[in-house]
Amino acid sequence: MTYTIKNTQDILNRLSSEDQIHCQLVFENYQNKLHLINSLLETIRDTTEKIEKRDKEEIQKIGEINDLLNGIIRINSESLVKILESYFITKYAISFSSYLNLKAKLSPFNSFLPIVSGIFSQCSEDLNISGSENIADKFQRRFYYQEEQPVINGEKICLPFYCCYNNYGHLSLQKDGEQSIKWLLHALCYCFLNTNSMPSELSTLYDQWLKEIDVKRTYIIFPGVTIKFFRNRKVNLSFSTPEHALKFWNHFELTGIAARMRTKNP
């Protein structure tokens, strides 16, 4: 897949006004940095022309500075890609192959549109729909073996063997556990808050779990939903009513989910 802009206006039409403003502000900051660096490069070129050819040492030093500045341009171009892609990943919970994976060498950007075009080329026209489908896929695929099959009992849902932990004096999420909890939180937010993104308070709580988890504590996800961790990797979700538990259960089709995932991905 190549990242090309077929219709600039079409890409802009698919961006919300909020997204357009954010992208433009980030790009203008990038442009300002490049303008400063290009001014320095222009000064270097002028200086080089004035130096006598026999002064090889001076020319070599200037060449090294020139290479350094061009390297800074490449770093800033990579940073632009990462900042914009991170924004869309965080806001919409979408997954896609990065622009950086398809470009061995980045040229300076004269627009943010090639980066955004690359995102849209891998997602549906509505990023919210792409995100909700991605959340369901990432959350459901965590269940595979029969011992991982969730269990619902009234207002509680048990997720056995759901987390992996580090245990160096305290409990914290391992890499696999990070992804499991991340997509569980996204699933809860989508089901009950009707949003693909995590509220800032929930992101802060998640970051805390990456460092340490208190198994003696029951954590409030948001009003009406709590989570409790256990050393045996079990995770318990508690909802305000059995109806809310059933809503989450049915929304993500958790009945027989482990068996279905084994059939889908043998």
From the list 96, 125, 111, 91, the residue with the least C-alpha distance to 15 is: 125
**How many residues make up the chain in this entry?**
266
What pTM did the predictor assign?
0.85
Predicted confidence (pLDDT) at residue 128 exceeds the cutoff of 80: yes
pLDDT at 64: 82
pLDDT of res. 1: 38
207: its two tokens: 């970051």
Choose the weakest-confidence range: 2-6, 135-139, 187-191, 208-212: 2-6
Query: What pLDDT, on the 0 to 100 scale, is given for residue 197?
Result: 95
List pLDDT tens digits, range 225-263.
999 999 888 999 999 999 999 999 999 999 999 999 999
- Measured CA distances, 236 to 6, 66, 151, 160 (Å): 48, 58, 10, 8
114 C-beta neighbours (distance < 10 Å), count: 17
Stretch 138-166: mean pLDDT: 93
C-alpha–C-alpha distance, residues 212 and 149, integer Å: 26
Question: Is the pLDDT confidence value at 97 over 50?
Answer: yes
Delimit the domains of the chain by residue range.
8-123, 131-264
List, in sequence order, every residue forming a beta bridge with 238; answer none if it has no partner. Answer: 156, 226
pLDDT at residue number 210: 86
**pLDDT confidence of residue 205:** 94
Q: Which helix (H) or strand (E) holds 158?
A: strand 156-159
Q: 175-193 and 200-211 helices cross at what angle (nearest 10)? A: 160
Amino acid letter, 58: E
Max avg pLDDT among 49-63, 106-120, 133-147: 133-147
Those residues whose C-beta lies under 8 Å from the C-beta of residue 204, and which sit 6 or more positions away, are none
Tens of pLDDT, residue by residue over 182-230, are 999 999 999 999 999 999 999 999 999 988 888 899 999 999 999 999 9
CB atoms within 10 A of CB 150: 20
